[in-house]
Each structure stands twice: as C-alpha cells, then as structure tokens.
Structure 1
Amino acid sequence: MNLSTSTQVSAGDSDLTYGTGPITWDDATWILTSSFIIFTMQSGFGLLEAGVVTSKNEVNIMVKNAADVIFGGLSYWMIGFGLSFGVDEGVNPFCGVGYFFVDSSNEDMGLLFATFVFQLSFATTATTIVSGAMAERTKLSSYIIFSFLNTIIYCIPAHWIWSEKGFLYQLGCVDIAGSGGVHLVGGVAAFVAAGLLKPRMGRYDNGIEPLPMGNAVNTIIGLFMLWWGWLGFNCGSTFGISGGKWKLAAKAAVVTLNGSMGGGAAGIIYSVLTKKGKYDVGYIVNSVLGGLVSITAGCAIIRPWESIIIGVIGGILAIVFVRLIDKIKVDDPVGAVSIHGICGMWGLLSVGLFGGNDTLENLTKNRYGLFHGGGFYLLGIQTLAVVCLVTWTSVMTLLILLPLKYTIGLRLSPSEEILGADVVEHSIVNEPVTTNYSIFFEIKQSG
C-alpha cells in the first residue's frame, strides 16, 4: 500500500514503478475499482449502525457517516495524504512531506490520483468506526469537527506502516489491509470517545444486557454491504493485478471469506450455547465482522485453513469483549471497540504467529511467523506496532476531544437526548417520539 519514493515514470504514464514492480493502467483500473467498492462500506456502516440504535437517532447516525466522507475527506485531501505518503524533502520515519492539497498535471498523475482515491477510502473508514461508539448522545457540530481532525490521528500511523520511510515499515511490520492502521486506530479512538462521553441516559440502570435493536434487518443488510466492501478492501490492497499481484488478490479473497465464515460460525455456535438455543443477531453480526477485521492484516500471506482459526478467535473476541466493555460501563452502542479495536490487535498479532513468507511480491521481506519457524522477530514487531498505535491514537483522540468537551461541548442535553438527535439536529420526528412534541418546541424556542 505504500507510495514508493522510487516511483519512476515512462512515456505515456503507462508503466509506473511501485514498490517491487511496475504499476500499469490495468493495475490502476484494479485500484480504482477496489476504491469504489470500499466506498460502499460507508453505506454498510450507516445501515448497520442505524439498525442498532433507536429509531429516534437513525437518521442522525447516517448523517454522521456522510460527514465522515465530506469533512474527513476534505482534510485528507488537504494534509492527510501528504502526511502519510508525501515524498518531498524532509520526509522522515514519523511523517511524510508533500502532496498537500493533492493535485498533479505531471506524468505521475495516474499513480498519484489512483493512490489518493484508494487511501481516501481507507481514511474515511477509520473515522466512521468511531461514529458508532459516539451514537445517540453526541452533538453533530462537535462530531463534524472531530471528523475533520481525525485525519491527523489516522494519517501518521499510516505513514509508519505503509510508507517506505515509515519506521514500522522499515522494521518489517506487516499490515496488508489495515487491521492495525485502520481498525485498531478506529477502535482505540472509539474507546476514548465513548469513555469521555459517558453512557447514554439509563443505559446501565437494568444491567449490562444490550438494548433492543431499532431495526435488525437494517443491521444485517449493513453487514452484507460491509462483507462485500471488505473484499475490495483486502483484495485491493495488493495494489494491482500485474506480476504476482493477481495471485495474491485471489488468495486474499479466499482468506477473507474463510476468516469471516470462521468468525460467523463461532458466533452462531456461541449464541446457541449461551442464549438457550437462540440465534442472537448481534452475536452473528459482530462475530462475522470480528473475523473480517482479524484476517485483514495477513489476508494475502495466511493459508486458508489458518484464516478459519484466526476468524474463529476473532469472532469470539468480538462477542466476549462487548460484554467486558459494558462491565466497565463504557457505552459503545455498536461494539466498535471490541470488533475493531480488540480484533484489530489480534489481526496484527496473528501475522506474527501465522504469517508465511511471500515469494511473489516480498510483502513479508523474507520473514515468517512464529508457527512457521520464523522465531519471535515478526511477532515482536507486530506487538510493537500494537503498542505504538494504541498510544498514539489514545493521546491524539484526547487532545482533539477534550477541548471540544470543555468549549462547545460533546454531548446533547438530557432533554435533547430523550427526544432524539433526529428531531433535535434535523427536525425529523419519528413515530416513537411523537408524544414529545412539547419538548421539541421548548428546545426550538430556547434556541
């Protein structure tokens, strides 16, 4: 995924060197098509989250997903891409320099623009992960500011992992499609945000059992859209189909599907065993997503049968940690911390255990995971990556959200939260809150 500093251009922009091999127009088509598929994940996240929250907040959560693309996308175009993949003088192991306000009229236009669109789809996904954890009690104005600034949180670790100058890349960290760079970053930010916001009113008055879903069908439809988008996410991260890349892309598809099936199977079995024979929709959805997140880091270098094991573990982690997070009363309505944060950690570490050497595009730099005789080096680097990403994301999320909390405020007022963000932020009155018209007009009159 790194934008190589050794990029070279030949006549007609038809043969660009990228990483270990050339980027051709065929590769650019693959990259752009994958990017467009990844963007459909915004719809999937939106539907899944809207299905989990109460109906009085479903429009608001969809708007927040739109804000992630609008405002997160603007800041990524302005500075984010450059801080991740800039190659101008001054680039260093911490951040990139250059490509700010992305534009090009030179021969590198094709590679630069295709790479930008692909990386933009990743950046907006990392922000969208946080929206679910902040659902049902966050001011939209504050969330928009966070969405704009969250690019800073995402783009620096992306440089560390995917730029040839990044220090984790140079040490040999492997995160092919973003278990760490996207999901762990998003999950940690979600944990910090949910902790600062405090629980929804009355959330734990009757214990830690999850609240009823507003629309389980929307949640499942969202899952399918994310499933589809994940194939673009993981297979597209081979960054082309020329040379050996098409083989890795095909392998990534199989491994991704196996990981999700392993996670889903574990979730269904766990539900039947713990829910008196019932098939809990939340367990099924979370376990599939947990399997997908877990396999994302190693999708092109893990064997298909190993991906099932990784997916099973990820599916169980996603379910178990949702309850553990609730026990410490960090209110995460959609389970983003567990699915993306915990399973993102597991995804990075699983490469250090199960990673096989890639002889096609040298993605692993001739290293193996512990279970394939590679010793502890790769596992150690993957562990270092977890520590760095958790530390960076925690600190930066606090630095962004604390000033918002103590200035314009992060949270809706109690009366606004009771009424619901749809009517307060968008003047949309849903059926369950029609009896609260008087509260609505009081809020409108008071400004």
Structure 2
Amino acid sequence: MQATELQYVIDTFFLIFSAVLIIFMAPGFSMLEAGLVRTKNVTAVLTGNVLLYAVCSFVFLLWGYNLMFGGSGFFLNGVEVTGYSAYAFFFFQMAFVSKTVSIMSGGVSERIKIVPFMSFAILMSGFIYPLVGNWIWAGGFLSDVHDLAGSTVIHSVGGWALLAAILVLGARKGKYTKDGKIRPIPASNIPLVTLGGLLLWIGWFGFNGGSAFNISTKDAADLVGLIILNTNTAGLAGAIVATLIVYFQYKKLDITMILNGALGGLVAITAGADVVGLWEPIVIGAIGGALVVYAVPFFDKFKIDDPVGALSVHLVNGIWGTIAVALFADFSLLAQLKGIVVVGLFTFTISLIIFVVIKKAIGLRSDEEHEYEGLDLEECGVEAYPEFVKSKV
C-alpha cells in the first residue's frame, strides 16, 4: 500500500470514529433531558430525541449536505472531497446536524407537541443550519470567522432558534407565579442527568477532535491531541468554577449546575480548541462555567422558561467561545463579532417566523389539560414510569 493510500485509509477511519463519538451525544442529550424533566414527560422527550436524529440526518442526506457544501441536486451529488472518503466526510457532517435541534429539545420540553417540532427540525436541518454552515465552513461570506467545530455554527444556531421557540411557546404552567416568583421544578432522575452529561462530554472529543479532519501525519496527530486535551481542560475548568460558585452562594453542591458548568466550558472551547495553548482553555472554560451559573437566573428573571438550561450552556457560551478566539489567538475580533451578529439575526428572525407560522397553522403547544397530565400519554401513549405518582404541577 502506498503512503498516500495509507493516509487516505487512516484519515477516513478517523472521521468515521469521530462521527460515532458525536452520535453518542444523541443518547447524551436524551438522558440529560429525560433526567431533568418531570416523570410524566420523559417518554415524550426521549421520542423527540430519537426522531430528531432520524429526521435531521435523513433531510441532511437528501439535500441539506449539498446545500451546505455547494453540491447539486440530492444525496451527495457534486460535493468534492479529497484526502479521505467522501462517504466518511458526509457521515461526519451528518453526525453534527441533529445536534442543532437536540440543543433545543430540552429547552422546549414539557409543553411542545412532537409533530410540529419535527416540522421545524426539517427546516433547521434542510435550510437554516446548512446555510450558516456554508457561510462559515464552506467558503461563504463569513469564512473569515474562525469556528473550529461550531460554537456559532451549531451551538449558537441552536440557541438562537431555541430562544425564538420559547418566546412563541411561553413558560410551563406553574413555573412563574402571578406575583412574579419563580417556582423551582426539580429534576426527576439525577442518575440519568449525570449519565447524559458525561456522554456529552465524551462525545465532544469526536466533535472537536474530528474537526481537524486529518490525523495521518505527525503534525496532524499533534493537532488532534492538542484539540482533545484543550477540550477536556475547558470542561474541567467549567465544572470546577461552577462548583465553587454554587457552593459559596448556597453551601450546596448542585450536580445539575456542575454538569452544566462543564458543558458550558466545552461549548466555549469548541470554536478555538485548535488555536490556543494549554493554559487558555482553563480561562475560557472557567468563564464558560461561570456564565452558565449566572445566565440561568438571568433568563428566569425575564420568564424565559428553559427546563434544562440550554440557553445558558449553548447560546451564551456559543457567543463567548466565538469571541474568545479573538481574545486568545491571532484572529480579528471584528470578524468574530460579525459572525455572531449575522448568524444571530438570521437564525433568530427566521426561526421566530417559522414557529409563529407553525403555531397558527397546526398548533405548537399541548393544551393545558394534557400539559397537566403529562405529554407521555397524549403524545406517545406510553408512560416512562407508569407506577410512579405523577407530579400535580
């Protein structure tokens, strides 16, 4: 086997392996969200996550991938790939696409209908996400934005769309009292939350590491190693800082906030893990963890009901991570800010319009009675915990 063929094989395997790690984030999101919602809504959340992976991946196969990378027609027609298998490259990119909507799933949980949400998922994976990806990753007019694995392209896009969805949906019944107080709704299954958070953490190594695309030379292997190390470091820093803040504020160790702090650090380093040294991820991740802790009550203050803290983790830290590239590496702050603003305005505006249209056309939110009883029976006909006593809120 010639050296060039060996490199082709190694890099192709690297992409496939990285894609599998990213797909592990699907059960990660599923378990995290299933643990954070009430028991009466667990089946609906799990069903939504499974369908998101299927629907988004299928739409991306049909035309989303071609739209993103300048192909023509359907399937993989017209997209040129060199250095590794075109099929492996598609599989890697396909692993990404459902994550933009998975980010949203937990934030709209416990009151959104599954079928209307899938309607939005088709438009996200077929148009919104491919267009933004084309602008930044495929030589479009925002190609001067450095975003290694999607602090903006994936996390901010999902976050902006989620914000639009929450504004159209409104808060869960009982979350905010008439006198303006916030009613805490505790997680139903902490072991699932922990499992989901750690699965996401592991998946991030494929998410960021695989975005180097090559590992078959010494320099490429060193870069992949640096990216994965920096990714882990930012997650560690986010978890530790979130722990310190909640402990000094409340004298308690809140595992849900610790995990979200870690995820915030991971989101923050996603844009620049390839262009910083070993100490910068500590600062980037630490700020990411702190931002999560303070952003959660900030959104609650404005009655923006996000059951899993996805806005705080993905939107806030998607923005921070994109800015951090310019602060800690040699990239234009103006270019990074331009990317944030353009993507934010486009994604939020188009998502808001789509959700308003869906709401008026087929309905978006479950009715009050079904929300009270839980979405499991109404949406899926199966309860996750049929022997448990249901929450009466």
Q: Fold match, TM over 0.5?
A: yes
Structure 2 CA distance, aligned partners of 1:432 and 1:217?
17
Where does residue 20 of structure 2 map in the other structure? 36
Which residue of 245, 256, 264 corresponds with 2:239?
264
Aligned partner letter, 1:295: I
Please tell me whether the aligned partners of residues 74 and 148 of structure 1 are also in contact (alpha carbons under 8 angstroms).
no
Aligned partner letter, 2:158: G
State the shift of 1:322 in Å: 1.1
Deviations 1:324-375 (A, max 9, x none): 11111111111111110010000000001101xxxxxxxxxxxx14xxxxxx
Where does residue 113 of structure 1 map in the other structure? 87
State the shift of 1:432 in Å: 4.3
Deviations 1:153-207 (A, max 9, x none): 11111011111x31111xx211011111110101111111111100000111272
**Compared CA separation, residues 225 and 85, structure 1 to 2 (3 A):** same
State the shift of 1:14 in Å: 8.7
Structure 2 CA distance, aligned partners of 1:278 and 1:292?
23
State the shift of 1:102 in Å: 2.4
**Compared CA separation, residues 158 and 105, structure 1 to 2 (3 A):** closer
Where does residue 215 of structure 2 map in the other structure? 241
Where does residue 148 of structure 2 map in the other structure? 176
Structure 2 CA distance, aligned partners of 1:168 and 1:333?
33
State the shift of 1:99 in Å: 6.0
Q: CA RMSD in A?
A: 2.3
Where does residue 107 of structure 2 map in the other structure? 133
Please tell me whether the aligned partners of residues 261 and 289 of structure 2 are also in contact (alpha carbons under 8 angstroms).
yes
Which residue of 237, 255, 259 corresponds with 2:230?
255
- Structure having greater relative contact order (Cα 8 Å, sep ≥ 6): 2
Where does residue 365 of structure 2 map in the other structure? 411
Unaligned runs of 5+ in 2: none
- 3-state SS of 1:431 partner: coil
- Residue 215 (1) aligns with residue 169 (2): no
Deviations 1:376-406 (A, max 9, x none): xx11100101001101111221232111100
Please tell me whether the aligned partners of residues 161 and 168 of structure 1 are also in contact (alpha carbons under 8 angstroms).
yes
State the shift of 1:100 in Å: 2.5
**Compared CA separation, residues 250 and 400, structure 1 to 2 (3 A):** same
- Residue 431 (1) aligns with residue 393 (2): no
**TM-score relative to the length of structure 1:** 0.82
- Residue 159 (1) aligns with residue 134 (2): yes
Q: How many residues align?
A: 386
**Compared CA separation, residues 55 and 301, structure 1 to 2 (3 A):** same
Which residue of 331, 337, 356 corresponds with 1:383?
337
Structure 2 CA distance, aligned partners of 1:155 and 1:240?
23
Please tell me whether the aligned partners of residues 8 and 84 of structure 2 are also in contact (alpha carbons under 8 angstroms).
no
Aligned partner letter, 1:418: Y
Q: How does 1:66-145 map to 2 (within 5 A)?
A: 66-86=50-70, 97-98=71-72, 100-102=74-76, 111-145=85-119
- 3-state SS of 2:176 partner: coil
Where does residue 420 of structure 1 map in the other structure? 374
Where does residue 93 of structure 1 map in the other structure? none
Structure 2 CA distance, aligned partners of 1:272 and 1:296?
27
Identical columns (%): 34
- In our comparison, the structure showing a higher alpha carbon Rg is 1
State the shift of 1:208 in Å: 2.5
State the shift of 1:435 in Å: 10
Where does residue 340 of structure 1 map in the other structure? 314
Structure 1 CA distance, aligned partners of 2:286 and 2:81?
46
Unaligned runs of 5+ in 1: 1-11, 17-21, 87-96, 356-367, 370-377, 437-447
State the shift of 1:253 in Å: 1.2
**Compared CA separation, residues 434 and 167, structure 1 to 2 (3 A):** closer
Where does residue 281 of structure 2 map in the other structure? 307
**TM-score relative to the length of structure 2:** 0.93
